[in-house]
Amino acid sequence: MRTGDERSRYGVRLLGAVSTIAGVAGMVWTARETHRKHQDISTLAGVLGIGFSALGLIVGAASLLISWLTYQADRREHADALSLSDIADEFAVAVRVQWEAEARVRRLNDPYPLPVSWLPADVELTEPWPVLLRITRTAPDAWPAGSDALAGTDDQILDVFTRRLPGGRLIVLGEPGSGKTMLLVRLLLDLTARRTAGAPVPVIFPLASWNPAEQELDAWMAHRLSTDYPGLAAGYGITDRAHALLERRLVLPLLDGFDELPPRHRAVALDAINRALPPGHQLVLSSRLTEYRAALAPASGVPVRLTAAAGIELQPLTASDASTYLRRDAGGEGTYSAARWDLVASLLGSASPVGRALTTPLTLFLARTIYNPRPGEGTADLPIPSELCDPARFPSPDAIRLHLFDAFVPAAYRAHPGRSCRWTPEQAQRYLAFLARHLERNVGGAVDMAWWQLRLVVPPRGLRLMTGAALGTALYIVTLVLFLASVAVDAADPHGVWRDLVQAASIGVWPLWTFDDMSADWTGLAVTVALILPLVDLIIGLILSWATGLRPRTVPATRMRWSGSLRVLLFSLGIAVAVGVPLGIRFELPAGGWGIAAGLVVCLVTGWGTAPADVAAASSPSALLGQDRRTLRLFTGTGIAGGCALGVGLGVLLAYTEARVSPNYDVPLSENLWEGAALGLSVGFLSGLVLGLAAALNRTASGPFALTRHYLAARHSLPRDVMAFLADAHEHRGVLRQVGTAYQFRHIDLQHRLAESP
């Protein structure tokens, strides 16, 4: 039995074959009728109009060929596909390489990993140990130490997860900035380093981008995998690789940031996790302690807890660990820069505001960035750490934390001999605050900073106007260049054949050629160039922007793909006939041929779409943007090439047919064909360029992104090179972190603080 896709392909091929036969028959019939000398010109024009409309059925041949090639490519891809275990092994390598690089960027091991410790979580937050053993069908004597065995520190997280935890389901709880994400990264790297062939691949999923009320967990995870790792979007049997890996339990979900879900969604999220990942599925869930405790005791509804899961609670850093870490980062004991921490070190572990604030990896990271010098940098211009000990200025731990967030960005962007910066601290502060407000206001408080979502800053109608203006500007510039080239050739060879050919080729600038003696009407020419032509091009651009925007793409594209259907084919044929027949009957032969062009144009605009790449590798934001830009250029180039080929072929065909119909037309056939080819080339080039660009701007995400970033740069909201700024903020400043194809702020509280800044 054929699937729906196979039936669709079969139907398109069948209709394409019938359409091709009908189109060829129509061409033969038209040629025969053309050579009948006894028919008058009006009847002959109608016959040719109908014949050329029938030629529009060749659209079916194109659909037939493309559909067949797509079907064959799909079959080859399926036949050559790797086994699922091999895919998982390659995927594990990509995940390990990605997170090793991210650990270096986040400086998790610089100067050394902080010794985070943990204790078993309160029993009311997790599954009681006897119940856990009963659910996992484990003998009690196999775990004599009970939940106390879950206590550990530093690099013992792998041992806790793989050897001390029945069922492999763990909840990691802790205060803000206590190192939950850092612990997940460490667990992921340890799991991938010791992974055996065919074992599950650990993947960190940031839960802030999930809406459990609208999307099931497995569908959301598959979408995240396909977006962050485009190779997993490739087909595998009747599904894709991402879904296949999830269904075969070859993905170990590390669900990070449960507390970043809206409060109303947390109980629903726990229920959805239980349904999608019942006991037997390994998982890790991280959350802030207070938010998780509140989710287990909702104001209304039935309380929900994560089934068959044990839990650990991260502990504050000891005063000794915090002091040693800060001094070591400043150069080590005995150095002047390390001695600057003496007053702060004396208060660590006490009840003072600074003693209670500097107890988490996050606050230590912020403090060392602000107060410690970098290589080659002196301490003369740096703030003094002892200012944190002033109770009048910082009366509470929260006041110190807010100060650290406020001072972090300027410190990250300060100039020092070791690294130059393209942006001043003031510019960076303004740009990052804008991005934080964008996430809060335009993306619903999400944490994923995706470059293709920057278009949401501009209202859809405004973006459509910007796209139309860009298309009109491109058409105007090309038109003006053609006109100037024609004028130059006309001046150099006013009576030669090249003058006629170039003037015919510049038919797209027909409003300018209405001035036979341009020197006698400079005013009219100036008005046409400055007002009439831009207005006409703008209207054309807006119309094309609206037409091609009927099937916009809001996520990145990685390659072109024919996505036509029977509806696309029938619609294209209808346009070809509707345009060709009336024009052929009313305006004689040349106009009737444009039905072919109309049908092909509609087929091109409505049938071509985009698809994800089939390269099995982790992707970065810049790599994804590069793939999308290549697709944009391919759309534009395809439009130009197709327009030129169609224009030349149609121009020569119409010129030849017109010469046969009008035997008294006193022009040599060769010159007529040359002029027809030049005319068709001009019209095809202009039409193909604008149509290809219009399709590219609406079928890819990099087109709207380019328009949006230039608009925001003009308003001084963001730098023109947004991607370079984001990469620098991630790789060199430590302000952002990268998760798959998106950036995130170093901490959600930093995002909230920047969003509140003026």
pLDDT at 585: 58
pLDDT at 363: 95
pLDDT at 518: 44
Residue 649: pLDDT band (50, 70, 90) is confident
Mean pLDDT on 533-562: 70
Among all chains, which residue has been given the structure tokens 């994400």?
181
Q: Tens digits of per-residue pLDDT, 450-461?
A: 999 999 999 888
Q: Is 60 exceeded by the pLDDT of residue 665? A: no
DSSP state of 8: H
Q: Are 307 and 281 in contact (CB under 8 A)?
A: no
CA pseudo-torsion sign 459, 461, 462, 464? positive
pLDDT at 520: 46
Q: Are 279 and 308 in contact (CB under 8 A)?
A: yes
3-state secondary structure of 419: strand
pTM above 0.75, yes or no: yes
Give the type of residue at 300.
S
Residue 560: pLDDT band (50, 70, 90) is low
Q: Is 70 exceeded by the pLDDT of residue 239? A: yes
Of these ranges, 70-74, 219-223, 658-662, the one predicted with the greatest mean pLDDT is 219-223
pLDDT at 45: 44
Mean pLDDT on 458-480: 85
Q: How many residues in the chain?
A: 758
Q: Tens digits of per-residue pLDDT, 511-537?
A: 444 444 444 455 656 666 667 777 877
Domain 115-314: state its class.
Answer: alpha beta
Q: What CA–CA distance (Å, rounded) separates 63 from 69?
A: 10
Q: What CA–CA distance (Å, rounded) separates 132 from 310?
A: 8
Q: Tens digits of per-residue pLDDT, 85-120?
A: 999 999 999 999 999 989 988 888 888 888 899 999
Q: Is 50 exceeded by the pLDDT of residue 76? A: no
Q: Which long-range contacts (CB under 8 A, 24 or more apart) does 132-136 make?
A: 132/166, 132/167, 132/308, 132/309, 132/310, 133/166, 135/167, 135/279, 135/307, 135/308, 136/166, 136/167, 136/279, 136/308
10: left (phi > 0), else alpha (psi -120 to 50), else beta? alpha
Choice between 153 and 582, residue whose per-residue pLDDT is larger: 153
Lowest mean pLDDT among 1-15, 208-222, 277-291: 1-15
Mean pLDDT on 676-689: 76
Q: Is 50 exceeded by the pLDDT of residue 430? A: yes
3-state secondary structure of 251: strand
In the chain, % of residues over pLDDT 90? 40
pLDDT at 381: 85
pLDDT at 388: 96
Mean pLDDT on 329-342: 91
Q: Tens digits of per-residue pLDDT, 18-27?
A: 544 544 454 4
Q: Tens digits of per-residue pLDDT, 132-150?
A: 888 888 777 777 677 788 9
Q: What CA–CA distance (Å, rounded) separates 584 from 48?
A: 7
pLDDT at 644: 81
Q: What CA–CA distance (Å, rounded) separates 53 from 180?
A: 67
Mean pLDDT on 430-455: 92
Q: Tens digits of per-residue pLDDT, 345-359?
A: 999 999 999 999 999
pLDDT at 579: 57
DSSP per position, 89-122: HHHHHHHHHHHHHHHHHTTTTSS-----EEEEPP
Query: Residue 310's beta-bridge partner residues?
Result: 170
Among all chains, which residue has been given the structure tokens 């037997």?
280
Structure tokens at 449: 């900073």
Boundaries of every domain in the chain: 1-80+563-611, 115-314, 464-562+621-709
Residue 475: pLDDT band (50, 70, 90) is confident
Lowest mean pLDDT among 24-28, 128-132, 202-206: 24-28
pLDDT at 558: 67
pLDDT at 701: 87
How confident is the prediction for the chain on average, in pLDDT? 79
Give the type of residue at 113.
P
What residues contact residue 726 under an 8 Å CB cut-off, 6+ apart?
A: 449, 451, 621, 736, 743
Q: Is 60 exceeded by the pLDDT of residue 63? A: no
Q: What CA–CA distance (Å, rounded) separates 405 from 399?
A: 10
Enumerate the H helices of 378-509 as residue ranges. Answer: 397-412, 425-441, 460-492, 497-505
Q: Tens digits of per-residue pLDDT, 221-234?
A: 999 998 888 788 87
DSSP state of 416: B
What residues contact residue 610 under an 8 Å CB cut-off, 6+ apart?
A: 553, 557, 558, 559, 560, 561, 631, 699, 700
DSSP per position, 585-619: HHSHHHHHTHHHHHHHHHHHHHHEEEE-----S--
In the chain, % of residues over pLDDT 70? 71
Q: Tens digits of per-residue pLDDT, 501-516?
A: 445 444 444 444 444 4
DSSP state of 529: I
Among all chains, which residue has been given the structure tokens 């890790």?
284
pLDDT at 41: 43
Of these ranges, 74-78, 288-292, 612-616, the one predicted with the greatest mean pLDDT is 288-292
Choice between 323 and 492, residue whose per-residue pLDDT is larger: 323
The beta strands (E) that lie in 680-748 are given as 736-739, 742-745
Q: Is 70 exceeded by the pLDDT of residue 609? A: no
Q: Is 50 exceeded by the pLDDT of residue 242? A: yes
Mean pLDDT on 608-617: 47
Residue 712: pLDDT band (50, 70, 90) is very high
For the chain, the first-to-last Cα distance in angstroms comes to 63
Choice between 323 and 232, residue whose per-residue pLDDT is larger: 323
Mean pLDDT on 688-709: 85
Q: Are 561 and 37 in contact (CB under 8 A)?
A: no
pLDDT at 577: 64
